[in-house]
Amino acid sequence: MAHEKKKNKKISLQKALIKVLMDDYGFRKGDAKVVYKGLIETLVNAMLRGYDIELRGFGKIYQTLRKPMIVNTYFTDGEDVFIPMKKLIRFRPSPALKEALNGERDIVRK
For residue range 54-107, what is the model confidence (pLDDT) as tens digits?
Answer: 999 899 999 999 999 998 877 777 788 889 999 999 999 999 899 988 887 776
Q: 24-47 pLDDT, tens per residue?
A: 999 999 999 999 999 999 999 999
70 and 96 together in one domain: yes
Residue 72 lies in domain: 52-110
| pLDDT value of position 89 | 95
Confidence class for position 108, pLDDT limits 50, 70, 90: low
| pLDDT value of position 69 | 92
34 and 66 together in one domain: no
Q: Are 17 and 55 within 8 A, CB to CB?
A: no
Q: Are 10 and 29 within 8 A, CB to CB?
A: no
Q: Which residues contact 50 (CB under 8 A, 6 or more apart)?
A: 63
| pLDDT value of position 1 | 46
**Measured between alpha carbons, how far is 23 from 75 in angstroms, rounded to an integer?**
56
What is the reported pTM? 0.70
**Measured between alpha carbons, how far is 63 from 43 in angstroms, rounded to an integer?**
13
Q: Confirm whether 2 is domain-assigned.
A: no
* CATH code for the domain in which residue 67 is found: 4.10.520.10
| pLDDT value of position 5 | 63
